[in-house]
Chains A and B, each alone.
Chain A
Amino acid sequence: DIQMTQSPSSLSASVGDRVTITCRASQSLGIFLNWYRHKPGQAPEVLIYSASTLQSGVPPRFSASGSGSEFTLTISSLQPEDFATYYCQQGYNSAGPTFGPGTKVEMK
């Protein structure tokens, strides 16, 4: 099984802040890594797929990079709707996807 880790597990930030989240995998994923935002009481939504491709309709304040086993998600200017939990997910293993433990972005 591919193990996913994320850091930090939580962070406090203010509207307008730049936020960066890191995701690491136990083996190389190439670019088969996706990012999701999950607001409380709502369905998760994909932000980024294939490591760095912005999903249609997602604001450009979201960007991501990385390949292999280390990836980052950056929010350039945090907005009120971005206080949520962010998950990375590997899509490399044909046995099935795995999600990271999540990073909760809270209001400072």
Chain B
Amino acid sequence: QVDLVQSGAEAKKPGASVKLSCQASGGKSLVKYGIHWVRQAPGQSLEWMGWVNAGNGDTKYSQKFQGRVTITRDTSATTAYMELSSLRSEDTAVYYCARAFGTVMAVMDVWGKGTTVSVSA
């Protein structure tokens, strides 16, 4: 069973960017999978941000974050990244990565423990 190991907490100022990572444990390959990024702001529901096909690098983004989010993976398909720019206080949230076998529509069956991002002046 693979675990997804996420990078540590970040504290950023408004207007800055943040780049988070999500690595498969043991260097396992995610080539057959997609990686979603989902966030949860305090007191809010889960919110989908985007997805990358770890095999070929194709991406899909939520319209809400289009232009502000970039999701990539390394060519060894063991790590995915999510970069969010022009941060504002409303971006304060826990950010999760989650694995899905196949397309963007597939179920998210393995989740990382989350990375807390705090945005404050």
Measuring CB to CB, which residues of chain A are less than 8 angstroms from any residue of chain B? 1, 32, 34, 36, 38, 42-46, 49-50, 55, 87, 89, 91-102
CA distance A96 to B100 in the complex (A): 12
Question: B45, A91: Cβ atoms under 8 Å?
Answer: no
Contact A44 B62, CB 8 Å, known A32-B105, A99-B47: no
Interface size on B, residues (CB 8 A): 25
In the complex, chain B residues whose CB is within 8 Å of the CB of A99? 38, 45-48
Q: Which residues of B contact A91 (CB under 8 A)?
A: 105-107
B96 on the A face (CB < 8 A)? yes
Q: Which residues of B contact A (CB under 8 A)?
A: 36, 38, 45-48, 50-51, 60-63, 96, 98, 103-109, 111-114
B63 to chain A, nearest CB (A): 8
Known: A43-B112, A44-B108, A55-B107. 10 other contacts (CB 8 A): A36-B108, A43-B111, A44-B46, A94-B104, A95-B63, A96-B48, A97-B36, A97-B48, A98-B48, A99-B38
* Option from A42, A45, A94, A101 in Cβ contact (under 8 Å) with B103: A94
Which residues of chain B come closer than 8 Å to A44, judged between CB atoms? 38, 46, 96, 98, 108, 111
Is the pair B46, A38 in contact by a Cβ cutoff of 8 Å? yes
Bound CA span A45–B96, Å: 12
Q: Which of B38, B61, B107 contacts A34 (CB 8 A)?
A: B107
Give the residue name and chain of the A residue nearest to B103 (CB). Answer: A94
Q: Find out whether the CB atom of A87 lies under 8 angstroms from the CB atom of B50.
A: no
Instruction: Give Cα A57–Cα B51 distance, bound, in whole angstroms.
Output: 26
Q: Are the CB atoms of B45 and A96 closer together than 8 Å? A: no
- A79 vs chain B, min Cβ distance (A): 21
